[in-house]
Amino acid sequence: MPTAPHVVRDRHRARAVAMTLAAIALVAAACGNGDDGGGSAAAPDGDVAGAVFAGPAGSAEEGLEGLYEAAVANGEDTVILAVSTTSAEIYGDLAAAFEEQFPEITVELKEMDFIQMGSVVQSELDAGQRTADVVTNAFLALKPMIDAGSIDESIDWSAMGVPDERVAEAGFVFQADGLCTTVVYNPDVIDEADLPDDLEGFLESEWSNQLSTLPSNGVACMGFYALREGLEETTELVEGLRDNGMIFTDDAEQLMLAGERPVIVFHYSITAPRLEEQGAPVAEKLYPGTGVFRTRVAVVEDTPVPNAARLLTAWMVSPEAMEIFEDYHQGGQGFVGDPDSMLVTRTEALGQDPTDETFFVYETIDNFADRAEAASTFRELFVG
Amino acid sequence: MAAPSLPVQSPSVVRARARALTTALSDRGFSIVTIGTVALIVGVPVAFMVVSSFRGPGTVLPLAPAAEWTGENYAEVVSTTLVSTAGDTLVFVLGSLVVAVGFGLPLAYLLERTDLPGRRLLLLFLFAPLLLAPITNAQAWSVLISPETGLLNQVLRLVLPVERGPLDTQSALGMVLAQGFTYVPMVALFLGPALANVDAPLEEASRTSGAGPLTTFRRVTLKLLAPAILSVTLLLAVFLLGQFEIPLVFGIGSGLQPLGIVIFSLLNPPASVPSYGQIAAYSTLMTTVSYALILGYGFLTRRGDRFATVTGKGHRANLTSLGTWRWPAFIAVAGFLLLTAGMRLFVIVWQSLLPFRGPVSWEAFTEQASLDAYRRVIGDSRFLEAVQVTAIVSIGSAVITTLIGLAMAWVVARSGSGRIRRRALDLLASSSLAVPSPVAAFAFLLLFLALNQFLPLYGSMFALMVAYCFRVGVAYRMSSAALLQIGSQLEEASALSGGSPLTTFRRVVLPLLAPTIVVLLVLGLVTGINEFTVPLFLSSQGPQPLSVYTYGLLSNQQQSAAAAAGVLTLVTVLVMAAAAAWAGRRLRGSSR
């Protein structure tokens, strides 16, 4: 459908304003307020771990306002955001905050198991269905969309006021990091000292029927381990764990808390802090090969609401949104490159420096396909 | 030669003929519309799935330009997981049947044919868990037979010398027992009428010939019931082929991975588009097996008259006296129901009050119990949306299913339609029962996705509503039974008195059918509220129904909230069932 001339004019105006403001912000940043960034963490991998949180960008709000005006002028009143079921609550909070700030746009959440997201959205795009306008997930989960070229890579996020350290490859912006915590356990049942020194230790008979993992997150986290140890070795490990009675279940945390299966292997860092808050017996241990997944946000190619989708995406990495996000997660997710991030504090309390490339494995645009392949292999070990 | 003169007909004859012609035409039109509607709901999705199984590459939608005809999907399925899946499915289905029939048959006998005390109360206990949503039922079993903290295991350990278990969600035995016990009420429900109809004199003759009650049951009652048992077994086997809530909630590992789990896993591969073609091939093969079972069921049902003992000549179905075994039998039945039914309901309520899973103890209750989970669920806007979606879809599908079921029954029993049309309807009705739930759900998903460019139904509530109507065969069978009980003389009398077909239907048939219609509507509503597989596969857009919402909580580690949602769903269903029972009684009273 042709776009009305006034809308095109509005879009151009908004873009021009955003670009100007972004340029001013860049100049201001270059003039040296580096201390505000609060980050001088050494970056072993400039692409991922080295992203340093730089604080609010002066131009962001102006850029957002421009996008909002354009979205309203274009009649873009609803934007669909695909989120992982496990994160639906926090994205509900974020959506509410967004709607409060931009009252003429409604955010509709499209919830699904995290590993299905790319597949479901891509299938719906193939079927010509109105689907998600914005997706938020790790590269791994969005692989079918990336492979099909369904992510809008043409957007210049910097020009829209998104801080540089939040701008990622392939049209994405960074939202937050999380850990594929290798072991989460019930300290009322298991003494930390009794945990083996490496994951192979869990192949011993004393751990028989003591282990579980989540169906989707488990294989995704095993994928990180495979990036470090090799697919063959990790497959052998996973087969051994399976033969030692490890199960894939959505009930993993409850089984762990009840002491039924007190150890979750290859868990993720999101829920443990919240369980701790509720007074549940939960502790974590990191092993070499712990993965760092990065939640990224992107606009779906040819979305019918381009301005609203860009606005939501850019807003989701704004300081205001990130504050809500980090408060909710209490260290379960944060920004590895930001020393003030609760995730960093939490990881350091577990005895590790989250920027230590020799210990952690980071998801990048170059390795996510290998991780996906590994994840498929591990899934097949349990379900043919 | 004079032209032959046309016979002169009186205006009343012409009118009568015209009316007969109109009736015949509207009859024909009605039956064609009915068949067409049922074919759209039942036949088209399955046929499309079968066709799709020959389209490839598998990851491409069957109508996409890149799709071609191929047999590779079958080759792939046969060379990979078919054998292991078939094996696991066989163990799951047969094992569950052995448990269900093994416990259900004696239970039905005791409740129907003996003087067991408190039978009404026991029947209530027996059937109560049928109202639990399948996903909540699976959660209840998962909590109940957890090896360490499961209440059932705690009780069993009081009498068995084991430190852990003895039941385990991760063993094939645990899975089969949970599924089998879930089906015990259905066995009792289906076999109850057959047991009630066994002619008592035959059993009395056996006893007067010196046979004990057990021998009489084994050599007389059981033999008379053989066709009924076999047909019920086949029907349950078809239902079991599609069951996957219990395996899904119990987890994937050392337990069984039956068909439903495999289809669900194939549909959700990690980080890739599913291979629709392979899933279609899988589903087609499994549907073939299921169809064979349904045909067997139909065959046995038709041949059942060879074993008929209700002849109308001195038929009696006396209760067998249990004598001194009355109270021991009562304790055994009550204990069994307490362990398998009562405890299931109890643990769901218990779990909804406690924040985490753990052993049942007074200490845990006094220290941790709260209504927080209920507050959280009721305060969650997604729950309210789920209630709304569930109400709309369930009511809509219940009404549609009832109307179509009645129309089908009418066409077969009354319309005088041809044999082919009647056979077509019967075949479609059987098909709607023969296709396992995950297969039906996948067939609709595939159809809606593939046709979405032309018919944008995918993701809509209407699509869910249509898919919920898939089991229209049940409504048809129940409507047929009710319609056959209404003598056609009443309708003929109405017609002779000048009543049009519509008036006759409205003023004669409808009031007589009212109780059945209420039952059908309630059954449709309860089925709709508890339906899990179809919305799990289909509803990826917007608010989801209660069952999927509950599963979302469960898979998101929120056991207490999931249990609270399950309890709230159960309360809703109970209220509806009570209202329906009241309405049914009123209608039956007024139709008399």
Interface contact flag, A252 B452, Cβ < 8 Å: no
B496 plus B401 within the same structural domain = yes
B569 plus B582 within the same structural domain = yes
B148 plus B228 within the same structural domain = yes
Interface contact flag, B149 A249, Cβ < 8 Å: no
Distances (CA, A) of B557 to B284, B361, B370: 34, 22, 18
Residues 6+ apart with CB under 8 A from B156: B162, B165, B166, B167
All domains of chain A in start order, with CATH? 5-177+295-330 (3.40.190.10), 180-292+348-382 (3.40.190.10)
B587 plus B460 within the same structural domain = yes
Most B-contacting residue of A87, A99, A111 (CB-CB within 10 A), to test interface: A111
At how many degrees (to 10) do helices B151-159 and B134-144 cross?
40
B491 plus B575 within the same structural domain = yes
Burial B159-170 (b: 16+ CB within 10 A, else e): eeeeeebbbbbb
> Is residue A59 pLDDT above 60, yes or no?
no
Longest dimension (CA), chain A: 72
Residue B427 CA, chain-centre distance (Å), reads 18
Residue A52: pLDDT band (50, 70, 90) is very low
Interface contact flag, A110 B540, Cβ < 8 Å: yes
Longest dimension (CA), chain B: 111
Interface contact flag, A108 B542, Cβ < 8 Å: yes
- Token readout for B426 is 């019967």
B529 plus B450 within the same structural domain = yes
- Nearest one of B180, B135, B351, B10 to A250, comparing CA atoms: B135
Residue A126: pLDDT band (50, 70, 90) is confident
Q: How far B236 CA lies from chain A's nearest CA (Å)?
A: 25
Interface contact flag, A122 B273, Cβ < 8 Å: yes
Tell me the C-alpha distance between B157 and A61, whole Å. 64
- pLDDT (average), residues A265-280: 85
B429 plus B577 within the same structural domain = yes
- Nearest one of B368, B379, B389 to B459, comparing CA atoms: B389
User: Which residue carries 């339906």 as its tokens?
Assistant: B531
- Token readout for A72 is 């309203």
Tell me the C-alpha distance between A129 and A125, whole Å. 6
Q: 10 Å Cβ neighbour count for A42?
A: 10
What are phi and psi for residue A53, nearest 5 degrees? Answer: -65, 125
Contact criterion met (CB below 8 Å) for A176 and A165: no
B364 plus B502 within the same structural domain = no
CA distance from start to end of chain B: 66
B350 plus B476 within the same structural domain = no
B346 plus B471 within the same structural domain = no
- Token readout for B52 is 């799709």
State yes or no: cis peptide before B57, omega within 30 of 0: yes
User: Which residue carries 């009316």 as its tokens?
Assistant: B19
* CB contacts, 8 Å: A120 with chain B: 540
Q: Give the torsion sign (CA, B308, B309, B311, B316).
A: negative
Residue B97 domain-assigned? Answer: yes
ipTM, interface predicted TM-score of the complex: 0.75
Tell me the C-alpha distance between B544 and B438, whole Å. 18
Tell me the C-alpha distance between B433 and B337, whole Å. 29
User: Which residue carries 């092993």 as its tokens?
Assistant: A287
Residue B277 domain-assigned? Answer: no
Residue B106 domain-assigned? Answer: yes
Q: Tens digit of pLDDT for each residue in A175-211? A: 889 898 789 999 999 999 999 999 999 999 999 989 9
CATH number of the domain where residue B501 is located:
1.10.3720.10
Beta strands A360-362 and A263-265, pairing class: unpaired
Q: Which three-class secondary structure state does DSSP give residue A80? A: strand
Tell me the C-alpha distance between B277 and B279, whole Å. 5
Q: How far A163 CA lies from chain B's nearest CA (Å)?
A: 29
Tell me the C-alpha distance between A318 and B584, whole Å. 60
Nearest CA in chain A to B271: A141
Nearest CA in chain A to B145: A260
Nearest CA in chain A to B458: A129
Distances (CA, A) of A216 to A208, A252, A267, B388: 22, 12, 10, 29
Q: Which three-class secondary structure state does DSSP give residue B551? A: helix
Task: Provide the number of structural domains found in chain B.
Answer: 2
Q: Which three-class secondary structure state does DSSP give residue B65? A: coil
Q: Which of A249, A258, A372 sits opposite B271 (nearest CB)?
A: A372
Interface contact flag, A383 B357, Cβ < 8 Å: no
B456 plus B360 within the same structural domain = no
Residue B294 domain-assigned? Answer: no
Supply the range of the domain harboring residue B122. Answer: 83-268+325-369
* CB contacts, 8 Å: B450 with chain A: 127
- Name the domain boundary from B335, B369, B403: B369
Q: Which three-class secondary structure state does DSSP give residue A231? A: helix
Interface contact flag, B382 A255, Cβ < 8 Å: no
- Token readout for A179 is 């850990």
Residues 6+ apart with CB under 8 A from A127: B61, B449, B450, B452, B453, B458
Q: What is the DSSP string of A150-199?
A: -B-----TGGGT--GGGB-GGG-EEEEEEEE-SEEE-TTTS-GGGS-SSG
* CB contacts, 8 Å: A246 with chain B: 253
Q: 10 Å Cβ neighbour count for A319?
A: 13
Q: How far A4 CA lies from chain B's nearest CA (Å)?
A: 26
* CB contacts, 8 Å: A254 with chain B: 356-357, 557, 559
* CB contacts, 8 Å: B76 with chain A: none
Would residue B520 be called left, alpha or beta, if left means φ above 0 and alpha means ψ between -120 and 50 degrees?
alpha
What burial class does residue B497 get, using C-beta atoms within 10 Å of its C-beta: 0-12 exposed, 13-18 middle, 19+ buried? exposed
In chain A, % helix, strand, coil (3-state, to 5) comes to 50, 15, 35
Tell me the C-alpha distance between B272 and B24, whole Å. 55
Interface contact flag, B381 A92, Cβ < 8 Å: yes
Q: Tell me the pLDDT of chain B (592 aa) as tens digits.
A: 445 555 556 666 666 666 666 666 567 788 888 899 999 999 999 999 999 999 988 888 888 888 999 999 999 888 887 888 889 999 999 999 999 999 999 999 899 888 899 988 998 889 888 889 999 999 999 999 998 889 999 999 999 998 888 998 888 899 999 999 999 999 988 888 778 777 777 777 887 888 777 788 788 888 888 878 887 888 889 889 888 899 888 877 656 888 888 888 888 887 788 889 999 999 999 889 888 888 887 777 666 555 555 454 555 567 778 888 889 999 999 999 999 999 999 999 999 999 888 888 999 899 889 999 999 999 988 898 899 999 999 999 999 999 999 888 888 877 666 778 878 888 888 888 888 899 999 999 999 988 888 888 888 889 999 999 998 988 888 888 888 777 777 777 887 887 777 788 788 888 888 888 888 888 888 889 889 999 998 866 667 899 999 998 888 888 899 999 999 999 988 888 788 778 777 766 665 5
User: Which residue carries 């049309």 as its tokens?
Assistant: B421
- Nearest one of A180, A241, A254 to B250, comparing CA atoms: A254
B364 plus B375 within the same structural domain = no
* CB contacts, 8 Å: A143 with chain B: 271-272
Nearest CA in chain B to A262: B148
Q: What is the DSSP string of A108-125?
A: EEEEE-GGGHHHHHHHHH
Distances (CA, A) of B206 to B212, B214, B217, B281, B307: 8, 11, 9, 52, 17
Residue B45 domain-assigned? Answer: no
* CB contacts, 8 Å: A264 with chain B: none
Q: Tens digit of pLDDT for each residue in A338-382? A: 888 888 988 998 999 988 989 999 999 999 999 999 998 988 887
What burial class does residue B15 get, using C-beta atoms within 10 Å of its C-beta: 0-12 exposed, 13-18 middle, 19+ buried? exposed
Residue A66 carries which side chain, given as an amino acid letter? G
Residue B56 domain-assigned? Answer: no
- Name the domain boundary from B335, B354, B369: B369
- Name the domain boundary from B313, B339, B369: B369
Q: Which of A131, A140, A246 sits opposite B271 (nearest CB)?
A: A140
Residues 6+ apart with CB under 8 A from B502: none
Nearest CA in chain A to B170: A247
Contact criterion met (CB below 8 Å) for A163 and A54: yes
Residue A17: pLDDT band (50, 70, 90) is very low
Give the DSSP H or E segment for B338. Answer: none
Residue B108 domain-assigned? Answer: yes
> Is residue A12 pLDDT above 60, yes or no?
no
User: Which residue carries 């015949």 as its tokens?
Assistant: B24
Burial B290-311 (b: 16+ CB within 10 A, else e): bbebbebbbebbeeeeeeeeee
Residues 6+ apart with CB under 8 A from B50: B280, B284, B287
Return the pLDDT at A28: 36
What are phi and psi for residue B55, nearest 5 degrees? Answer: -110, 140
Interface contact flag, B272 A119, Cβ < 8 Å: yes
Q: 10 Å Cβ neighbour count for B499?
A: 16
Q: 10 Å Cβ neighbour count for B66?
A: 10
Interface contact flag, A88 B249, Cβ < 8 Å: no
- Nearest one of B531, B487, B494, B543 to B512, comparing CA atoms: B487
State yes or no: cis peptide before A144, omega within 30 of 0: no
Return the pLDDT at B417: 64
Average pLDDT score, chain A: 82
Residue A42: pLDDT band (50, 70, 90) is very low
Nearest CA in chain B to A377: B270
Q: Tens digit of pLDDT for each residue in A335-348? A: 887 888 888 988 99
Tell me the C-alpha distance between A147 and A170, whole Å. 11
Q: How far B536 CA lies from chain A's nearest CA (Å)?
A: 10
